[in-house]
Amino acid sequence: MQKIALFIICAMALALAAPVARAQQAMRLAPGESRVLTFAENPSTGYTWAIDKAASQGLDIVAIEDLGHSRGADMPGAPGTRRWSLRALKPGHAEILFANRRPWERTPIETRRVVVDVAQ
């Protein structure tokens, strides 16, 4: 019985320590076409979205612009949204990993993979 309880505790600890990964989002764009992505964010907690360039590929296929954070409610500490604009530059395949983390921490609390196929 003690071994089962220990196993359950270890499994719960691993689940809590692992970053939350969302299902990947896929999109198909023509060269020159744009799309805006919106992620919930609360920078007052220190957590902000950023592109993990080392875990991404094909970043030369799309132009990515950080449109900034928009506040939600008019209260200090209220969550809002971070917006990103993706514009297809040339035919190809890109995979962009967005990570929600504090700048001083290595492990994100959430990641989102965006797959972009650019075709004529």
Mean pLDDT of the chain: 85
Sorted by sequence, the CB contacts under 8 Å of residue 82 that are 6+ apart come out as 38, 39, 41, 48, 49, 66, 67, 68, 69, 70
Mean pLDDT of all residues in 45-58: 95
pLDDT at 20: 57
Lowest mean pLDDT among 19-23, 76-80, 91-95: 19-23
Whole-model pTM: value is 0.77
> Letter for the amino acid at 50?
A
